């Protein structure tokens, strides 16, 4: 590691130390003074837990103590701690092979600063600790760390002269940080010239690979390194121009932004796959100016498309992840869209941390969603109500009673209602139905979500099938409190129209209020057992089917994909078909129990009595009367309701101050959250900002020269 040799060892506990000689080596006095902060106490407590050396009654950290405390657990397991013994040398400002408590607190304060990575790098080069770097120091440290096989750096180039002048003046902290920003681009140019001594403007593929690995090895996965020479096949002559080299370097250099754009493009596409056009469209939405050139996009898709058919124009996100992850090794990649590495619960936890509304805003948002849900439910109910009326009349028809076979089938019923009662007859009983839509939908959806949230695995976000069924049963059972009274009123209003047109019953039509008064409180819950027998199985079938259709049929959640209104409508409609038809027998029994029997019609005392009499008098087919009409009503009703709900949200958008305005959660933020939450260490973890400062400092030093620090943090 240059003049900070990693071979030096911290003294053993039994060794005697000379007194600290602060005059021998100047302390580091940067232009930013080190000020004790509220985190200083945490740093001192952290130091006390890990310092194992004693000298003159004071505790010190050895290199082993420091590395063991600072390096993340995963790096210890992989024996990749070397970058952290380098940081020990930076923190050891007196060059004594040990760190005092004040040294550690000062170093931690530096790591918490916004420019920590540049300050640590500057401290490494600032040999005298006077806040300036001589150009000779810079050349010596950089030159001594460069291997004999590497391309030598030309410190007399025009680029260096622009920074230090012909007199090679000293470099300030601000100038040093700016120099580091452009240093790699200068090295790129110098190394290209080295491998192109004739000035042809081209280098061979192997030279191209050497340059990329020398400059950006810490950012390049073994998979990408293996396929770097193949970039030459994109262009005539099988050689690499400087434009090609710079384009490839730019792709690697701005990989964080490339990853965000790619994941955004995958989330916006219907199948989770990404084409060049998808990538460019997503980049245009995310960036004010065009981020990447056509050549850079060609190289990106070429590297990601390895092992895929050359004619393939779209790629799954898993193909790109081989480029995003510097630790990715060769292996097969599925051609199907892959999911984020983050689990559902990880993302939920992150959203919970990022999105936090006040109690008042939460209440307003709930009212807003409830209102739109009620309106959407009313629209769905109104659209399919004529089908519901036909279904009810078909189910109430006694086929074994002479003169009572009014309708041959559902279509015949529909025609006769219009003929005898007019179009308004198709909407008899609509008002109580609309009154019941809001509380019914609210309770059903709320209870389903509530039970699912308690059953969901907190770590993986997985809900077992039995849990989904239980949530559906709970939702279906809870809604009966509101739906049964409204159902019985609606049904009696629906069937009284046909009675008025027959000679069997000349009873005048009654209003909904009259029916409620006539039934009383207990009467409103007549047939509640049959209602439960219908609604509990319906929701137990519907909600799990709906959830699985969204995932299996439309790939919801894969690569962050969210469904559009048409996909939600289709999933809701398809899920409603089996749920509606399979519970038709319970619906028939409920209808017979809740309808006021006419003269000469069979009456029923309960579910069992109704089941026996219907089976005996009309046969098993009677239990599926109106089944088709029920499917034709329930299936589109759920679809229309969900589609209307989505449309209303877009038509009447309201900003409640939360951050969930986009369908895609920042992939880097998710990754950072997961890395932080999953990091396990035998010791108490450092303050987050200091932890990131250490890793970023190692990254910056690796940008200068990978040979400066070995075994770095992988560029992550």
pLDDT score at 458 = 65
> Could you tell me how many residues make up the chain?
716
Helices 82-91 and 688-704 pack at an angle, to 10 degrees, of 100
Q: Name the residue with higher pLDDT: 362 or 606.
A: 606
pTM of this structure: 0.46
SS3 496: helix
| DSSP single-letter state for residue 61 | B
pLDDT score at 661 = 37
**What's 326-373 look like in SS3?**
CCCCCCCCCCCCCCCCCCHHHHHHHHHHHCCCCHHHHHHHHHHHHHHH
Token couple for 50? 């890990």
pLDDT digits (tens, 9 = 90+) for 670-696: 334 434 444 333 333 444 444 545 666
Token couple for 167? 């007199």
Mean pLDDT across the stretch 276-302?
Answer: 85
Contact 60, 50 (CB under 8 A): no
pLDDT score at 705 = 60
Token couple for 398? 């006694």
CA distances (Å), 62 to each of 99, 222, 378, 557, 684, in order?
A: 7, 35, 72, 48, 18
Contact 495, 429 (CB under 8 A): no
Token couple for 609? 């009595």
**Cα-to-chain-centroid distance, residue 33:** 41
**Apex 643 CA angle, 639 and 648, nearest 5:** 150
Q: Which of 268, 267, 254, 246 is nearest to 323 (CA)?
A: 254
> Which domains does the chain carry?
40-162+681-704 (no CATH), 202-339 (no CATH), 359-651 (1.50.40.10)
pLDDT score at 497 = 62
pLDDT at residue 529 above 80?
yes
Least confident of 49-58, 286-295, 301-310, 353-362: 353-362
Q: Name the residue with higher pLDDT: 223 or 117.
A: 223
pLDDT at residue 93 above 60?
yes
Q: Name the residue with higher pLDDT: 651 or 661.
A: 651
> What confidence category does residue 192 fall into, taking pLDDT thresholds of 50, 70 and 90?
very high
**Cα-to-chain-centroid distance, residue 424:** 49
pLDDT digits (tens, 9 = 90+) for 353-392: 444 445 666 667 667 777 777 788 788 888 888 888 887 7
What's phi and psi for 341, nearest 5 deg?
Answer: -60, -35
pLDDT at residue 537 above 70?
yes
Mean pLDDT across the stretch 646-653?
Answer: 75
What is the DSSP annotation of 209-247?
Answer: HHHHHHHHGGG--HHHHHHGGGGGGGSGGG-EEHHHHHH
Token couple for 466? 């039995």
Distance CA 104, CA 530 (A): 73
pLDDT at residue 709 above 60?
no
Distance CA 467, CA 469 (A): 5
pLDDT at residue 267 above 80?
yes
pLDDT at residue 484 above 70?
yes
pLDDT at residue 18 above 80?
no
Distance CA 217, CA 702 (A): 9
pLDDT score at 30 = 44
Contact 473, 536 (CB under 8 A): yes
**Apex 239 CA angle, 238 and 241, nearest 5:** 140
> What confidence category does residue 199 fall into, taking pLDDT thresholds of 50, 70 and 90?
very high
pLDDT at residue 68 above 60?
yes
């Amino acid at each position: 590691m240059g003049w900070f040799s990693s071979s030096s060892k911290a003294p053993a506990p039994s060794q005697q130390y000379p007194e600290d000689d602060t005059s021998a080596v100047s302390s580091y006095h940067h232009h930013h003074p080190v000020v004790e902060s509220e985190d200083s106490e945490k740093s001192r407590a952290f130091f006390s837990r890990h310092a194992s050396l004693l000298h003159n009654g004071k505790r010190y950290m050895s290199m082993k103590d420091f590395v063991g405390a600072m390096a993340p657990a995963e790096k210890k397991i992989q024996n990749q701690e070397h970058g952290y013994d380098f940081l020990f040398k930076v923190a050891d400002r007196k060059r004594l092979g040990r760190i005092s408590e004040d040294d550690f607190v000062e170093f931690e304060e530096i790591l918490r600063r916004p420019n920590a990575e540049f300050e640590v790098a500057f401290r490494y080069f600032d040999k005298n600790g006077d806040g300036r770097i001589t150009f000779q120091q810079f050349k010596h440290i950089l030159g001594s760390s460069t291997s004999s096989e590497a391309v030598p750096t030309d410190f007399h180039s025009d680029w260096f002269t622009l920074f230090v002048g012909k007199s090679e003046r000293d470099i300030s902290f601000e100038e040093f940080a700016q120099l580091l920003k452009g240093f790699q681009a200068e090295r790129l140019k110098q190394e290209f010239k080295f491998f192109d001594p004739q000035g042809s403007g081209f280098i061979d593929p192997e030279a191209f690979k050497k340059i990329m690995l020398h400059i950006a090895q810490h950012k390049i996965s073994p998979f990408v390194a293996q396929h770097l020479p193949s970039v030459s096949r994109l262009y005539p002559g099988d050689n690499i121009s400087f434009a090609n080299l710079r384009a490839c370097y730019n792709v690697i250099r701005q990989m964080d932004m490339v990853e965000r754009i790619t994941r955004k493009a995958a989330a916006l596409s219907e199948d989770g796959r990404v084409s060049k056009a998808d990538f460019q469209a997503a980049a245009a939405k995310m960036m004010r100016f065009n981020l990447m050139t056509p050549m850079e996009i060609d190289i990106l898709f070429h590297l990601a498309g390895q092992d895929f058919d050359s004619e393939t124009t779209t790629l799954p996100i898993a193909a790109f992840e081989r480029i995003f992850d510097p630790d990715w090794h060769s292996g097969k990649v599925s051609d199907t869209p892959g999911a984020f590495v983050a689990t559902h619960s990880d993302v939920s936890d992150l959203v919970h941390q990022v999105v936090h509304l006040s109690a008042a805003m939460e209440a307003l948002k709930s009212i807003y969603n409830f209102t739109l849900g009620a309106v959407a439910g009313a629209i769905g109910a109104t659209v399919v109500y004529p089908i519901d009326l036909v279904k009810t009349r078909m189910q109430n028809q006694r086929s074994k009673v002479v003169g009572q076979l009014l309708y041959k089938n559902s279509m015949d019923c529909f025609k006769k209602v219009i003929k005898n009662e007019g179009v308004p007859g198709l909407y008899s009983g609509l008002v109580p139905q609309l009154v019941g839509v809001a509380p019914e939908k609210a309770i059903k959806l709320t209870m389903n979500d509530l039970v699912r949230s308690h059953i969901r695995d907190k770590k993986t976000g997985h809900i077992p099938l039995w849990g989904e069924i239980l949530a559906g049963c709970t939702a279906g059972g809870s809604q009966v409190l509101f739906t049964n009274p409204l159902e019985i009123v609606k049904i009696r209003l629906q069937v009284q129209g046909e009675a008025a047109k027959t000679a069997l019953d000349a009873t005048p039509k009654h209003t909904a209020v009259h029916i409620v008064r006539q039934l009383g409180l207990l009467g409103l819950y007549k047939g509640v057992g049959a209602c439960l027998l219908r609604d509990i199985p319906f929701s137990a079938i519907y909600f799990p089917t709906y959830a699985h259709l969204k995932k299996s049929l439309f790939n919801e959640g894969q690569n962050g994909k969210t469904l559009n209104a048409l996909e939600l409508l289709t999933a809701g409609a398809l899920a409603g078909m089996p749920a509606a038809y399979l519970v038709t027998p319970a619906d028939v029994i409920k209808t017979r129990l809740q309808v006021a029997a006419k003269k000469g019609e069979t009456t029923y005392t309960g579910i069992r009595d109704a089941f026996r009499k219907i089976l005996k008098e009309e046969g098993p087919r009677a239990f599926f009367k109106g089944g088709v009409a029920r499917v034709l009503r329930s299936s589109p009703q759920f679809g229309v309701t969900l589609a209307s709900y989505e449309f209303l949200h877009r038509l009447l958008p309201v900003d409640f101050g939360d951050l969930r305005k986009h369908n895609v959660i920042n992939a880097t933020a998710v990754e950072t959250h997961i890395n932080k939450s999953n990091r396990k260490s035998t010791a108490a973890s450092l303050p987050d900002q200091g932890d990131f400062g250490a890793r970023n400092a190692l990254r910056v030093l690796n940008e200068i020269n990978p040979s400066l620090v070995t075994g770095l943090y992988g560029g992550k």
